[in-house]
Amino acid sequence: MQVLFKTRYEDDIRFLPKTGEKIRVGLVVAFLLAAPLLLQDYYLGELGLLLVYAIAGIGLMILTGHTGQVSFGHAAFLGIGAYCHAILMSHGVPFSLSVVLTTALSGLIGMALGRSASKMHGFYLAIATLAFLMLVETLLGEWESMTGGYGGLAVPGLKVFGISLASAWQQYYLDLFFTFVVVLGAANLFRTPTGRSFLAVRDSELSARCLGVNVEWAKIQAFGISAAITGLAGVLLAHHLAYLAPDVFSVLESLKLMLMIVVGGLGSIPGAIFGAILVSLLPVALSFLKDVLPPALGQQAGLEPLLFGLIIVIFIVFEPQGIYGRWMKLRFFFETFPYYRKSSFVRQKSYLKTERMR
């Protein structure tokens, strides 16, 4: 077990204070950078898609995991991002400008949604965001002159600063670049007042308010940042799909994002990434299952949503902290070996809470 000696205030601000963490994250980064050398184009594309979902997951994580505002409407922001980017690109707007404009638009729509949802909690918020998703999905389908309607919309080829990025590895590095930006930015957020105000709103709106946190504004900000990041993921997703249709951005897609962060572990950035890995591996596992299961079962439609639902339920019942929580326990087990006890992570008696003044 490594004991940290902190000698400067900077020690608390630094990321990854422990050597072991540094090595692990370094290995992952090295693998990601070297992936084009190691993987075939198909798997590289899948890995790129995984990164896109990780970005979207971090977007939702900031809102739901860190600020405690549930949203079943995040597929809408993926859709807004993808469509807005595709439309701008097809009108000749360069990639770099289009990314900025799309992210900003998505963020602004997120803030507007946050403004109207800032007084809502839990169940009502879930319904409101779901309604928002329905609205956007319908809009994408019906606004034919702009979005191509249900017939779909072709996404122009990927071109950054006039250079065409047609190869799989070029697109992959673009995904990777934005993943780094988002992970770093999100991690930054939680060592500054903005991120702390989000956590404060999640854990106790009452005392957050009394300490000077403008709770409504914090929620609007969280919605905005979250939507902007998800919109950015939508931009990258558009290039992976190459052809957009409104039904891609449906409730099921929202559910997938929700599955990612719940199973990954709410309230942690690595959790969103673990979740993205799981969601990307699921179809692989599913195709494997289809071969193994008897045809009557394996060929059944709706196996994927069933599996999604089942996994969410299993995690909520047995490991509410998600994969990340399980990982922390595993690490703690090795770090403190042989002193780990089953009760090490059992919550202490919880104390009375003031009746929430809602």
Partner 1 sequence: MTAGRTLSVRNLSIMFGGVHAVEDVSFDVSPGEVFAIIGPNGAGKSTIFNLISRLYEPSAGSIQFGEYDLLGLPAHRVVDTGIARTFQNIELFEQSTVLQNLLVGRHSRMSGNALCDFAFLPRVRRAEIRHRRKVEDIIDLLELAQYRDERIADLPYGARKNVELARALCAEPALLMLDEPASGLNTEETDDVGFWLEDIKHDLGVTLVMVEHDMNLVGQVADRVMAINDGRVLAIGSPDDVRENEDVQQAYLGMTE
Closest CA to 257 of 233, 221, 241: 233
Instruction: DSSP letter for 248, please.
Output: G
The helix (H) or strand (E) run that includes residue 199 is: helix 193-203
Q: Sign of the CA dihedral 310, 276, 234, 223?
A: positive
Cα 82 to Cα 238: distance, rounded to the nearest angstrom = 5
The dihedral formed by the CA atoms of 118, 121, 126 and 128, expressed in degrees to the nearest 10: -50
Q: Which is nearer to partner 1, 255 or 328 (CB)?
A: 328
User: Is residue 338 classed as helix, strand or coil in its secondary structure?
Assistant: coil
Note the residues at the interface with partner 1 (CB under 8 A). 9-10, 12-13, 185-186, 188-189, 191-197, 199-200, 202-204, 206-215, 221, 224-225, 267, 347-348, 351-354, 357
Q: Which is nearer to partner 1, 170 or 194 (CB)?
A: 194
| Smallest distance, partner 1 to C-beta of residue 221, A | 5
| Smallest distance, partner 1 to C-beta of residue 345, A | 10
Q: 323: which residues sit within 8 A by CB, 6+ positions away?
A: 263, 264, 265, 271, 274, 275, 278
Q: Which is nearer to partner 1, 11 or 142 (CB)?
A: 11
The helix (H) or strand (E) run that includes residue 314 is: helix 303-318
Q: Which is nearer to partner 1, 19 or 344 (CB)?
A: 344
| Smallest distance, partner 1 to C-beta of residue 38, A | 32
| Smallest distance, partner 1 to C-beta of residue 334, A | 20
Q: Which is nearer to partner 1, 212 or 302 (CB)?
A: 212
| Smallest distance, partner 1 to C-beta of residue 356, A | 10
| Smallest distance, partner 1 to C-beta of residue 295, A | 47
Q: Which is nearer to partner 1, 140 or 269 (CB)?
A: 269
**How many CB atoms are located within 10 Å of the residue 346 CB?**
7
| Smallest distance, partner 1 to C-beta of residue 75, A | 23
Q: Which is nearer to partner 1, 111 or 244 (CB)?
A: 111
| Smallest distance, partner 1 to C-beta of residue 72, A | 23
Per the CB < 8 A criterion, the answer to whether 29 and 51 are in contact is: no
| Smallest distance, partner 1 to C-beta of residue 246, A | 31
**163-164 and 153-154 as β-strands: parallel, antiparallel, unpaired?**
unpaired
Per the CB < 8 A criterion, the answer to whether 60 and 272 are in contact is: yes
- Cα within 13 Å of Cα(247), Cβ side: 3
Q: Which is nearer to partner 1, 155 or 228 (CB)?
A: 228
Q: 326: which residues sit within 8 A by CB, 6+ positions away?
A: 265, 319
Assign 3-class secondary structure to 125-142: HHHHHHHHHHHHHHHHHH
Which amino acid is present at 25?
V
Q: Sign of the CA dihedral 191, 197, 200, 202?
A: negative
Cα 8 to Cα 23: distance, rounded to the nearest angstrom = 22
Q: Which is nearer to partner 1, 212 or 294 (CB)?
A: 212
